[in-house]
Amino acid sequence: MTLIDLSHPLATGMAVYPGDTTTPVISRLSAHGEGRHQSSAFTSGCHAGTHIDLPLHFRVGEPALEDFPVGRCEGTAVALDAPEGAIPPAVLAGVDLAAVDFVLLRTGWARHWGAPQYYRAGPG
């Protein structure tokens, strides 16, 4: 089995989804030293970096983060090439999805990660 990590690292000041006002801030609170440990603080809005929009984001009464089992984010998948502008039905033609939990579409959009256009008119 191959594990595919879809996450990007979080960093202070990174771009966030347009309209969000809280950009990530990572602050060092203490450093190593005699009898000390290093510690940090992290502040961020919910739409920074790699994330999933939970059902509550879209519908009242649906599961929130504390109710969402992390196991729902793992399973079998098929990864397909879907260049920008590809129509998903055409990409899926002839693909047997009976044994998969997820379909991953490689659109090439990841090349814009970290640039302002990442959040503009991306594939959806």
Beta strands, E only, 11-68 = 25-30, 39-43
Residue 116 has pLDDT above 90, yes or no: no
Question: Could you give the dihedral angle defined by the CA atoms of residues 8, 72, 109 and 85, in that order, rounded to the nearest 10 degrees?
Answer: -170
pLDDT per position as a tens digit, 33-42:
898 899 999 9
The domain spans of the chain are 7-73, 75-124
Q: Which residue has the higher pLDDT, 103 or 85?
A: 103
Task: Answer yes or no: are the C-beta atoms of 82 and 91 closer than 8 Å.
Answer: yes
- Please report the pLDDT score of residue 124 as a whole number: 67
Separation of alpha carbons 7 and 42, rounded Å: 17
Give mean pLDDT, residues 96-114: 90
